[in-house]
Chains A and B, each alone.
Chain A
Amino acid sequence: MSSILEITNLSLSFGGVKALQDVSFHVPENTVTTVIGPNGAGKTSLFNCISGFYKPQQGSIRYQGEVLGGIKPPVRAAMGLARTFQNIALFRGMTVLDNIKLGAHVHMKSGLLGSLAYFGAARREEMAVRRHVEQHIIDFLEIDHIRRQPVASLSYGLQKRVELARALAMRPKVLMLDEPVAGMNREEKEDMARFILDIREEWGVTVLMVEHDMGMVMDISDHIAVLNFGQIITEGLPEEVQNNPQVIEAYLGTSDMDSLRKKLNPEREVA
């Protein structure tokens, strides 16, 4: 399977804090790939590098073979990189429908004069977007009952779903989801897992996800990368990752006191 995203030797630091050190991993095309790791491991920083919001000091990100380097975030969005945010980033002054339509912004062309007159091509384009959003996204995510509501009035789970809808309206090739089920109840999690699998299978979209819910991660991921203190510990199939001793140590700590002492005082001989 070919890789749609390839991250090579990526390093990012803020002053003395090394958020990412020499991170390399790949995202195979048309998979659900998940990045896991303890809090503060650098997962969201990694997403921000891929979105173009942070500029890594070293390394490269290749998307469909092209180096993203100095490409600005709006252009990356137009190339097919869409994402949702850890803290919901919906536009609170707009309705659900307008939030979703905003996702289609990069695929629309009408200019200021057409907008002022709401006539001809501008009007047809708006109608085409409305039809696409209604038939493919609102229907698919089962949010037709809330389309007229302002997003601020929705529950947390529904807001997350609207954010997913907005990302889908961007017609992504790679969909990045930052903690899609955080804070959700069981039923909402199951819905979201189903949507993610459908997006991959029916839409052919590659999903790159950051998530803490291990049950869901192990169930729906095809490929997992583990990040700890800004470094990739391992990557592979869910079963491989699950049984990797380093991963268990990163998450649970270790019962082996000798190795812990060694880690804390590498120079001193352990008695």
Chain B
Amino acid sequence: MRIGDAKQSYEADEAIWTSSTQKIWFAALLLTLAVFPFIADAYLLYLGCLVGIAVISTTGLNILTGFTGLISLGQAGFMGVGGYTVAWLSMNTALPFPVTLLLAGLLAAAVGILVGLPSLRVKGLYLAIATLAASVFLHFIFAEWESVTGGMGGLSLEPAHLFGLTFQSDFGMYFIIVPLAVLMVFAAKNVFRTRIGRAFIAIRDRDISAEILGINLLRYKLMSFALSSFYAGVAGGLFAYFYRVVTPESFPLSMSIFYLAAVIVGGMGNLLGGILGAAFMTLIPEVLKLLTAALTPFYPNAPIFMSPMLEIIFGALIVGFLIFEPHGLAEIWHRIRRFFSIWPFRN
């Protein structure tokens, strides 16, 4: 049972963590994240980095689709803009990674604003098609603008560096990716504590009355596109540093659908949902592979039987979540929390 959390000031009441229990758990989480690379093997470390990148990109898409209600299939394209920016800068300049990532985010944001321009007129599925078109267009540029993007062969990168340190291994990249992911999720959380976040949600819920209440729709829709693509651009830049190569096929359309699925499975309009969704979508295929490996000693035919089944099981899991948990993984989390905050009472 949670008690003794009466507040003396509005500042305390509006804080992200409103009880010391929450602060302790969060500190424990940070500690786990910090210790993880020292105890994890190479494979887990690789997965940790992938989840970190997915969290940043999913949070970005969640701002646009989950909170502002604008469906986008352009996420992979925006990540591509970020990835190619970082790759080009690493080949042609000696800028350290914070600068290249920032520039990647800003360029992706500028592209996002351009792509978002039709959003004042078109909504829902029509906007999805408009962003899909933009995504195809960007893919075409990546493949054909050979002098800058290297065409179908793509670009190879120098490792990320800062103050003479280079981040070549997954171990090094983990310490760039995860702190950045934590920072960017916090920044997103802050946005939804202020007028700008409220304006986004108002546009999602009722755009006409939002306008009459004084919200300039075009300005805030474009701001949402810019912010969302900034996140995608940074995630794409990290992706480029992580794999040290970008090609047009690094950012396929299926990647946009992957992130949209992560937002929906995790819980639209819920930052925690975005994190859980990103982890779920990244890890479940791996878990299924591990299951197959575990079954092999008992059923030698398991790999032959299971590998074509993986996609089907993955798809079935997503459909199952949509049917039984339409508010996403975040809702399960909230149920667990509610249980403990009123424990030992039942209701």
Q: Give residues in A with beta carbon < 8 Å to B.
A: 51-53, 72-74, 77-78, 82-83, 85, 89, 91-94, 98, 101-106, 108, 110-112, 114-118, 122, 125-127, 130-131, 134, 166, 170
Given A74-B216, A94-B201, A134-B10: A112 and B211 within 8 A (CB)?
no
Tell whether, in the assembled complex, residue B198 and residue A98 are in contact, meaning their CB atoms are under 8 Å apart: yes
Q: Which of A73, A101, A116 contacts B211 (CB 8 A)?
A: A73
B316 at interface (Cβ–Cβ under 8 A)?
no
User: Which one of B27-35, B116-124, B136-144, B188-196 contacts A?
Assistant: B188-196
Given A74-B215, A74-B216, A93-B269: A127 and B10 within 8 A (CB)?
yes
B161 at interface (Cβ–Cβ under 8 A)?
no
Q: Which residue of A lies closest to B270 (CB)?
A: A93
Compute how far the CA of A116 lies from the CA of B109 in the bound complex, rounded to whole angstroms. Answer: 15
B187 at interface (Cβ–Cβ under 8 A)?
yes
B208 at interface (Cβ–Cβ under 8 A)?
yes
Q: Which of B198, B209, B213, B227 contacts A112 (CB 8 A)?
A: B227
Given A93-B269, A130-B14: A105 and B213 within 8 A (CB)?
yes
Compute how far the CA of A254 lies from the CA of B215 in the bound complex, rounded to whole angstroms. Answer: 47
Main secondary structure of the interface of B (DSSP, over half): helix
Chain A residues closer than 8 Å to B227, beta-carbon distance:
112
Please list the 7 inter-chain residue pairs (A to B) with the smallest Cβ-Cβ separation, ordered nearest first. A77-B214, A106-B214, A118-B190, A89-B209, A91-B205, A115-B194, A116-B187
Compute how far the CA of A226 lies from the CA of B50 in the bound complex, rounded to whole angstroms. Answer: 66
Main secondary structure of the interface of A (DSSP, over half): helix
Chain A residues closer than 8 Å to B212, beta-carbon distance:
51-53, 73-74, 77, 83
Given A102-B198, A115-B194: A89 and B206 within 8 A (CB)?
yes
B160 at interface (Cβ–Cβ under 8 A)?
no
Compute how far the CA of A115 lies from the CA of B13 in the bound complex, rounded to whole angstroms. Answer: 18
Compute how far the CA of A265 lies from the CA of B198 in the bound complex, rounded to whole angstroms. Answer: 56
- 28 A-B residue pairings within 8 Å (CB atoms): A52-B212, A53-B208, A74-B212, A78-B214, A89-B209, A93-B201, A93-B205, A94-B202, A98-B201, A101-B198, A102-B199, A102-B202, A103-B213, A105-B214, A105-B215, A108-B195, A110-B194, A111-B196, A112-B223, A115-B196, A116-B187, A118-B190, A118-B193, A125-B195, A126-B195, A127-B10, A127-B14, A131-B10
